[in-house]
């Protein structure tokens, strides 16, 4: 029913580290926070694969390898269990300068905390992200298990396929696959 709209770089308001490209994440003065590679394998895989692909586009295989190494370096800040909650806190508490994050999450953080955060698009603009082929996109599905049949499952699936839900998810930063 929906698909992610790629990654962005979540930063502190005002961009104090002057981060402009993916290769800036490899600078010694930039602390990169990322989801935990062992406890959050799915999000870490999306983030590391996308940033590695973008780094390869910027500077070849050596830059891509350096990016993977940097993101996997456990001396850098990582989330413990729930990156979507912990990553903004790492930046807000000055334990990190930047973090790769799904566009829809960055949109939420910058809406709720506009004085603390902003983000750098990695394709397109802040209002119209256009992730390129380097981005690993996530597709979200709805399914109904029919074991204990009841009307609620089918009604939920029907609701999730409605234009009302498509509009909500679109407004929250996901791409609707229903329209």
Give pLDDT tens digits for 136-151: 999 988 888 776 667 7
The mean predicted confidence, pLDDT, of the chain is 92
Contact 67, 52 (CB under 8 A): yes
Q: What is the pLDDT, as a whole number, of residue 100?
A: 97
Contact 6, 50 (CB under 8 A): yes
Q: What is the pLDDT, as a whole number, of residue 144?
A: 80
Distance of alpha carbon 30 from alpha carbon 112, whole angstroms: 25
| HSE (side-chain half, CA atoms, 13 Å) at 164 | 5
Euclidean distance between the first and the last CA atom of the chain, given in angstroms as a whole number:
9
Nearest residue to 35 via CA among 99, 83, 74: 83
Q: What is the pLDDT, as a whole number, of residue 154?
A: 83
User: Of 46-50, 74-78, 126-130, 140-144, where does mean pLDDT reach its minimum?
Assistant: 140-144
Measuring CA to CA, how many Å separate 59 from each of 22, 37, 54, 122, 131? 10, 24, 9, 15, 18
The answer, as to whether pTM is greater than 0.95, is no
Percent of the chain surpassing pLDDT 70: 97
7 has a pLDDT exceeding 80 = yes
Q: What is the pLDDT, as a whole number, of residue 148?
A: 66
């Amino acid at each position: 029913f929906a698909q992610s709209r790629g990654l962005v770089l979540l930063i502190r308001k005002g961009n104090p580290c002057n981060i402009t490209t993916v290769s800036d994440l490899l600078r010694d003065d930039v602390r990169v926070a990322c989801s935990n590679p062992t406890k959050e394998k799915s999000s870490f895989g999306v983030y590391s694969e996308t940033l590695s692909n973008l780094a390869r586009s910027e500077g070849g295989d050596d830059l891509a390898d350096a990016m993977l190494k940097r993101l996997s370096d456990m001396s850098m800040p990582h989330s413990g269990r729930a990156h979507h909650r912990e990553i903004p806190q790492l930046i807000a508490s000055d334990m990190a300068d930047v973090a790769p994050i799904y566009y829809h999450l960055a949109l939420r953080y910058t809406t709720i905390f506009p004085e603390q955060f902003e983000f750098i698009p990695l394709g397109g603009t802040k209002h119209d992200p256009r992730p390129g082929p380097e981005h690993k996109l996530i597709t979200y599905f709805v399914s109904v298990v029919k074991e204990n049949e009841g009307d609620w499952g089918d009604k939920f699936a029907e609701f999730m396929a409605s234009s009302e839900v498509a509009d909500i998810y679109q407004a929250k930063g996901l791409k609707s696959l229903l329209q």
